[in-house]
Structure 1
Amino acid sequence: MDFGDVAEILIIAVLLYYALVWMKTTRAWVLLKGLVVILIFLLLAYFFRMTTILWMAQNVLGFAVTALIVVLQPELRKALEELGKKNIISSVLPFDNNHRVDEGFSEKTINEITKACVEMGKVKTGALIVIEQKVSLRDYERTGIDVDGIVTSQLLINIFEHNTPLHDGAVIVQGNRVASATCYLPLSDNLGLSKELGTRHRAGVGISEVTDSLTVIVSEETGKISVAYEGKLERNLDAETLRDRMHKILNNTGEEHKNLRIWKGRSREKK
């Protein structure tokens, strides 16, 4: 094995690594897990010599690749755009001090969101707050207006106040900051949802079906608070239940970011 072979193996390994990292934050990760299940099924079919299934799989493969490209077209375009904008050297060197690490959710942020939802519920102000986790919501951010402000109850109340420019649509929260407002979300087509629910609730459930985000909804008709997560809707939550629900879902993400900041702090102390 010469130097060229070693270099080729390293390049392929790096490309595969970054491809998996990119897929981890997109819908492609879910599709990849589905493809792994199909691959295991085909291996079992090959092992037991199920010729009809193998023949069908062989003839469908060409169409499947094309369909996969069509389904992932938004993610592929976004990846190419980011590749063109990215500083290759800084992205390869993970210890760059100028590289910003998004903060996790603090106790204050959870309390501010809870306080805002309770206050808006009292006066029946409709609200739709989407909290980003591992899967990026950048495609949905682009449909709204950039805010980039620290999460406070007053900011959220002002955004959703009636007859204000930003009240229509969803707010997207990243870490401890409000990233965007007036964002458009996909509507759920789940027939199991109550017919009483309007567009706001269906949008909250819809975004939770395609991402791992947590969505908090305040009804404009009743003032009641609901939470959508993993395609399921919990309704009629009080302040304490809402706070506990956010703690339970967001706790792991917050701990991961906290450990990362501690590690980075120790690294600077050693220097």
Structure 2
Amino acid sequence: MQLSDIVDILIVAIIIYNIIKHFRKTRAAQLLKGIAIIFGITYISEWLHLNVISFILENIMQMGFIALIIIFQPELRRGLEHMGRSKFGKWFSVEKEDVTDVAGEVCKAAENLAESHTGALVVFERETILDDLLTGGTVIGAKVTSELLENIFVPNTPLHDGAVIIRDDKIQKASCVLPLSANKDLSNELGTRHRAALGISEQADCVCLVVSEETGKISVMLNGNMMRNLSVNSLYKLLNKVLAPKDDVSTNVKKNIDHLKSQKRSRKKKDEKSEKQDKSKE
């Protein structure tokens, strides 16, 4: 076996692993099982020379590619968005200090809302702009403050029923309707806010904060996963971690180039110094 064969096998294994990892907690997992069964039946029918069954299954599989694109459209979209998320930019287009301020204001509001058992749903955009996934909503465009967030979620007010969208350090929209999670294995005790937060975190690169109206518990959803019963301190640390700006690749490359130039200059100075010492000895 040549090195190229080993590399080929490793690449295929990595691709298959990531496909399974991506789809295993979605409704597509059951569909993939069905497709695997069809492949198995096709192979067995060809091995047993069951010509009619083989002919039918082969024709189904030929048309199946288009059907898969239609059936798996949400999952494919999410997967392609995940692949296309730029690692050259920042998750947040604001400075780290601003992220800390936003996290502090949101945590203060979450603490007060949890104490009063006031339901809330806050979504932080990261790489993906969420406009295509949102229904309705009122544009706010105001700086994030705990007082404004608490006022938005006061029961029976015009904007309380829906999600608040935070983009950078601004409350972009309020009263937005989010897509619900298609995961049928979710607990029945989870309400619409939790299902909506999971739904949009499954489809886009965002962080969702939910305050339960019934229990006053704080939860965070990220990449289709849910962290429940968070304390305010844990929430603050988590938000700072997942929303903090990242150094882009160009910055790191520039730092490395500057470092190499500095090393080159220092070596040149050492060489010049050693040459002068040699000449003085002569």
TM-score for both structures, normalised by structure 1:
0.59
Q: Name 1:223's counterpart in structure 2.
A: 216
- Once residues 207 and 65 of structure 2 are traced to their aligned partners in structure 1, the CA distance between those partners, rounded to angstroms, is 32
Contact 2:134-2:178 at 8 Å conserved across structures: no
- Is 1:103 matched up with 2:85? no
Contact 2:119-2:210 at 8 Å conserved across structures: yes
One-letter code aligned to 1:210: Q
One-letter code aligned to 2:65: A
Contact 2:135-2:177 at 8 Å conserved across structures: no
Q: Which runs of 5+ in 1 are unaligned?
A: 1-29, 32-51, 77-100, 264-271
Q: Choose the corresponding residue for 2:246, options 255, 260, 264.
A: 255
- Once residues 146 and 140 of structure 1 are traced to their aligned partners in structure 2, the CA distance between those partners, rounded to angstroms, is 15
1:193 Cα shift?
2.2
1:189 Cα shift?
2.9
1:240 Cα shift?
0.6
Any idea what the Cα deviations from partners look like across 1:185-206, whole Å, max 9, x if unmatched?
A: 1111323322211111111111
Q: Name 2:65's counterpart in structure 1.
A: 64
Q: Name 1:113's counterpart in structure 2.
A: 106
Q: Which structure: larger Rg?
A: 2
Summarize the alignment of residues 44-193 of structure 1 with structure 2, pairs less than 5 Å apart.
60=61, 64-65=65-66, 68=69, 102-103=93-94, 106-193=99-186
Summarize the alignment of residues 193-232 of structure 1 with structure 2, pairs less than 5 Å apart.
193-232=186-225
SS of the residue aligned with 2:133? Answer: helix
- Once residues 58 and 135 of structure 1 are traced to their aligned partners in structure 2, the CA distance between those partners, rounded to angstroms, is 38
Contact 1:172-1:180 at 8 Å conserved across structures: yes
SS of the residue aligned with 1:143? Answer: strand
SS of the residue aligned with 1:208? Answer: helix
1:247 Cα shift?
1.9
- Once residues 124 and 171 of structure 1 are traced to their aligned partners in structure 2, the CA distance between those partners, rounded to angstroms, is 17
- Once residues 61 and 174 of structure 1 are traced to their aligned partners in structure 2, the CA distance between those partners, rounded to angstroms, is 44
1:102 Cα shift?
4.3
- Is 1:245 matched up with 2:246? no
One-letter code aligned to 1:103: V
Contact 2:201-2:207 at 8 Å conserved across structures: yes
1:230 Cα shift?
1.2
RMSD over equivalenced CA pairs, Å: 3.6
Contact 1:145-1:183 at 8 Å conserved across structures: yes
Identity of aligned residues (%): 39
Contact 1:141-1:172 at 8 Å conserved across structures: no
One-letter code aligned to 2:141: D
Contact 2:220-2:227 at 8 Å conserved across structures: yes
Q: Name 1:236's counterpart in structure 2.
A: 229
- Once residues 181 and 256 of structure 1 are traced to their aligned partners in structure 2, the CA distance between those partners, rounded to angstroms, is 30
- Once residues 151 and 61 of structure 1 are traced to their aligned partners in structure 2, the CA distance between those partners, rounded to angstroms, is 52
Q: Which runs of 5+ in 2 are unaligned?
A: 1-21, 24-45, 47-54, 78-91, 255-282
1:255 Cα shift?
2.6
- Once residues 150 and 69 of structure 1 are traced to their aligned partners in structure 2, the CA distance between those partners, rounded to angstroms, is 40
- Once residues 153 and 116 of structure 1 are traced to their aligned partners in structure 2, the CA distance between those partners, rounded to angstroms, is 5
Q: What is the number of equivalent residue pairs in this alignment?
A: 191
* Structure 1 residues 71 and 232, CA gap change in structure 2 (3 angstroms): closer
Any idea what the Cα deviations from partners look like across 1:214-254, whole Å, max 9, x if unmatched?
A: 10000011111011111111111111100111122222xx1
TM-score for both structures, normalised by structure 2:
0.57
